[in-house]
Amino acid sequence: MQRPWQVYSADPAPPNFIEAVKKLHPHAGAITAQLLWQRGYRDALQQVPPFLDWRHYESASPLEFPDMAAALGRLQQALDQQEKVAIWGDFDTDGVTATAVLWEGLKPLLGTQLVDFYIPNRQCDSHGLSRHGLETLNEKGVSLIITCDTGCTNAAEIAFARTLGIDVIVTDHHALEPTPLGAVALINPRQLSPNHPLHHLSGVGVAYKFLEAVYATWPEKTQGYPLENLLDLVAIGLIADLVELKGECRYLAQRGLDQLGKHQTLRPGIAALLGRVSKNTAWQREISFALAPRLNAVSRIHGDVGPLVRLLTTQDKEEAKQLARKIDKMNSERKRLQKQIAQAAHAKVAQLDLSVTRVILLTDENWPLSLLGLVAGEMVKTYGRPAILLQTNAATGMAAGSARSDGVVDLYEALRCQGHLLEGFGGHPYAAGFRLKIEHIALLEAALNQFLAQQEGTATAAPQPLRIDLEVTLKQLNDALFKELEILAPFDSTHHPLPRLLVRHVELTEVQENKVKNDPTRRYVSMMLLDPQAKQTFPAKWWDHQIGDCPKGACDLVIELQQWQSSLSAVIQDLRPSGTSIIEAAPFQALIDGRNCPRGVAETGLRVDTCPTSWENWRQWIQRAKQEQQPLILAYSLPKEQDALEVWQKFLTRCQKAGQQGTLLRREALCQELNIEAMTLGYALRALATLGVKVENTGDRFRCQWPPQIKLSPDTTTALEAFRAAIAAENFRRRYFATAPLQALQETHKLATPFFNRGGT
């Protein structure tokens, strides 16, 4: 199925906005302003300056974390009593850089009290705390553990640590459990509201904010070490973890990238790794495509990531070079194995009917677990929908694997809703890992497809459209355009992706097939793009393709403009013969984002003041916007979650009072009073009937006849569980509509109407 193309540039930025943006940066121009406008950054005085330059951003205080005072108090106790302290990290790039940040950052304060760091071995351990790891640290006399990028789901292990006399301070960013953790302190940005600037921090970002509080508390002991020295590691971890680079994440990433751009200050380990692939500088592309894969390869192939922490913190250039050589070999082996799995996975997808498949779920008993997340990511890019890859083990009857999202579906919530089928899971909205019994795989697949079908409505499953930000000519592809685009860096995969450009009516010339040096698993087609009329040419690459894929004659291309080792080229994302391209105008201006915005928005349109609770409610707003020819202004905030027991008790009281008075209840009015959907009210009425209450319906009204005594029936528990699940589903939908990226709301519901498509092709 061919992936549709959508252009987002139908709504031009106003001239006064363009002029205001040009004054903010010497390289800024109309294209910079247009992209900012399209992506919702429309306040040139308040929004745009801190987005473009961290010097205009006001950093949030680390004391805004609720448990920070408790964490600092426990650290003071450790100092007073000369306790031994250890760090517990994780084995991905975010976790390793977080470990290095805490290890290096706490040394000035703790000195020899900081005795060790512990990171699970990916080949034999899972994420998080473990009993055997805690016992190992206990043998070394450790009485305080500070975690990073892990720990917030380890209540049982933390309880075990207490039996050993070990306290735990958890710094993490993963989803929180509803039950108490039992840690001395929990520092997690998910404790804060979704619109809080710290909310999207990754593990390394949380570790750095923890150190900010530490250094502010003990300035006399830490003044000899500039905390800013750690920002290079913070930038690497943030970018590698694919978080949304906005708020504090963007601020820290920009500062770290500034530091990494000064190659004379590079750490020996980073310089040694980069020296094998680039010219000793580290911009975002080098981090994403050179550093992060190599750092992640160690745990996937070798398991033990202790050498990585040494690589990132050593000042010995020779040791750094030796470690870098070993890591490079591991990365080559990772690529070879990953390609094997991807080939097998594509063959399995070929057996599926993608027209009715909303989530790709594949299994194999021979797949190595450590590489499944990478291949799932490849599947998402290729097929435009969430993908899950599982390793099965017939001997144990269990399966485990990784899931990746297309940037629209919140996989963590989708899996959480099916938690009864899982033995354990964790992760982020767009990446998750889990275990389940093999016999439950088919049930999970059906449930996830149903979940996505409800989210998307009755539309046929189809790949997400390929987003195109702007249409340009071949002549515009030059250093000046690249500098304009780079003003908007750093980019992320969901909230603020690298701009994609549409170039029409060009020919592919000087086409050659190439293999990557030292990586025979990768190939690409190099070529020169030619505009026959303007006599203009520009170099381009098309990765993982061959000459036979290149059509003759004029083509339309979707490209990303990228620079690698000072060489500028177009990286082709998709191409089609000219005349065959159906290009829709994307519905970007259909929605104006004023969620969680205390000052409101200046634009005019149809205001949505109450957070939607159902897809039907959402579609009603869309239909009204179509009829009234107005954009929707999302002017609501995340409401307080409904407590199912409180709603049930309020419902019972209301129905009992009406029954005693002999009055009718209007369904619509009761739904408004209880703040629930009509379907949820239906579950409540069915549960009421299991108690012996007779419900008589009269049109949109009903009457309750109460028996002398309410008695529980065998069906009551099941009916109440269905009601509770309906309330939980409403809470999930409120969170989704209050926090989902604007692009996700637009693309998921495809608001393609003449009004929303004005100016389209």
- Both tokens of residue 7? 């252009």
Q: Are 35 and 470 in contact (CB under 8 A)?
A: yes
Torsion sign (Cα): 748, 750, 755, 756: positive
Mean per-residue pLDDT over the chain, rounded: 87
For residues 442-467, average pLDDT: 73
pTM: 0.76
> What's the topology of domain 355-456?
Diaminopimelate Epimerase; Chain A, domain 1 (3.10.310)
Instruction: Mean pLDDT check: name the lowest of 254-268, 446-460, 489-503.
Output: 446-460
Mean pLDDT is lowest, of 46-50, 204-208, 594-598, 721-725, for 594-598
* Confidence check: pLDDT of 58 > 60: yes
Flag whether pLDDT at 389 surpasses 50.
yes
Q: What string of H, E and C letters represents the secondary structure of 645-709?
A: HHHHHHHHHHHHHHHHHCCCEEHHHHHHHHCCCHHHHHHHHHHHHCCCCEEEEECCEEEEECCCC
Tell me what percent of the residues of the chain surpass a pLDDT of 90. 53
Which CATH number applies to 62-260: 3.40.1110.10, 3.90.1640.30, 1.20.1340.10, 3.40.190.10?
3.90.1640.30
Alpha carbons 116 and 136: distance in angstroms, whole number: 11
Give the pLDDT of residue 264: 56
pLDDT digits (tens, 9 = 90+) for 117-168: 999 998 888 789 999 999 999 999 999 999 999 999 899 999 999 999 999 9
Of residues 191, 187, 194, the one with CA closest to residue 172: 187
Quickly list DSSP for 28-83.
--HHHHHHHHHTT---TTTTHHHHH-GGG--PPPGGGSTTHHHHHHHHHHHHHTT-
Mean pLDDT of all residues in 482-500: 89
What number is the average pLDDT over the span 663-674?
90
Helices (H), 350-428: 372-383, 411-416
pLDDT value at residue 752: 34
pLDDT, residue 734, reads: 86
pLDDT above 70: residue 627: no
Q: What is the DSSP letter of 637?
A: -
Rounded CA-CA distance 699/254 in Å is 60
CA gap 314, 277 in Å, rounded: 20
Q: Give the span between the Cα atoms of 412 and 168, in whole angstroms.
A: 26
Residue 747 confidence (pLDDT) above 60: no
Alpha-carbon distance of 90 to 148, in angstroms, equals 7
pLDDT in tens, 201-219: 999 999 999 999 999 999 9
When comparing pLDDT for 134 and 707, which is higher? 134
Q: pLDDT per residue over 253-265, tens digit each?
A: 999 998 887 755 6
What pLDDT does 1 receive? 56
| Amino acid making up residue 344 | A
Q: Hey, which residues does 703 pair with through a beta bridge?
A: 696
Residues 6+ apart with CB under 8 A from 154: 128, 129, 170, 181
In sequence order, the 6+-apart residues with CB closer than 8 A to the CB of 50 are: 56, 57, 58, 251
Contacts of 234 (CB under 8 A, 6+ apart): 97, 101, 204, 205, 208, 252, 253, 255, 256
What percentage of the chain exceeds 70 in pLDDT?
91
Greater pLDDT, 558 or 668: 558
Tokens 């308040």 sit on residue: 46
Look at residue 521 in the predicted model and tell me its pLDDT: 65
pLDDT for the residue 751 = 37
Residue 410 pLDDT exceeds 90: no
Predicted confidence (pLDDT) at residue 587 exceeds the cutoff of 60: no
The pLDDT, as a whole number, for residue 462 is 58
Instruction: Assess contact for 719 and 686: CB atoms under 8 A.
Output: yes
Cβ atoms within 10 Å of 349's Cβ, excluding its own = 16
Helices vs strands, H then E, count in the chain: 26, 25
Q: Please tell me the least confidently modeled range out of 37-41, 249-253, 466-470.
A: 37-41
Cα separation, 576 vs 586, whole angstroms = 19
Give the span between the Cα atoms of 133 and 136, in whole angstroms.
5
Domain boundaries, the chain: 5-9+467-585, 62-260, 355-456, 591-761
Q: Which residue stretches of 261-316 are H helix?
A: 268-274, 284-286, 292-297, 306-313
Euclidean distance between the first and the last CA atom of the chain, given in angstroms as a whole number: 21
Q: Nearest-CA neighbor of 308 among 100, 107, 88?
A: 100
As a whole number, mean pLDDT of residues 679-698 equals: 90
Label residue 600 by pLDDT band (50, 70, 90): low
pLDDT at 586: 63
Count CA atoms within 13 Å of residue 490 on its CB side.
Answer: 34
Q: Can you give the pLDDT at residue 276?
A: 58
**736 vs 81: CA distance, rounded Å:** 47
Structure confidence at residue 750 as a pLDDT band (50, 70, 90): very low
* CATH class of the domain comprising 5-9+467-585: mainly beta
pLDDT tops 70 at residue 425: yes
The pLDDT tens digits of the residues spanning 193-204 come to: 877 899 889 999
Model pLDDT, residue 690: 92
The per-residue pLDDT for 246 is 86
302 near 290, Cβ under 8 Å? Answer: no
Which amino acid would we find at residue 91?
F
* pLDDT range class, residue 405, cuts 50, 70, 90: confident
Collapsing DSSP to helix, strand or coil, 248 comes out as helix
More confident of the two residues 186 and 628: 186
C-beta of residue 188 within 8 angstroms of C-beta of residue 200: no
Residue 264, both tokens: 């004379």
Closest CA to 289 of 100, 559, 543: 543
Examine the pLDDT at 340 and tell me if it is beyond 50: yes
Q: Of residues 462 and 179, which shows the higher confidence score?
A: 179
- Mean pLDDT for 734-755 is 60
Q: How many Cβ atoms are within 10 Å of 235's Cβ, its own excluded?
A: 27
Size of the chain, expressed as the number of residues it contains: 761
Which pLDDT score is estimated for 131? 95
- pLDDT, position 588: 43
Please report which confidence band the pLDDT of residue 459 belongs to, taking 50, 70 and 90 as the band edges: very low
Dihedral angle, C-alpha 539, 542, 543, 545, nearest 10 °: -140
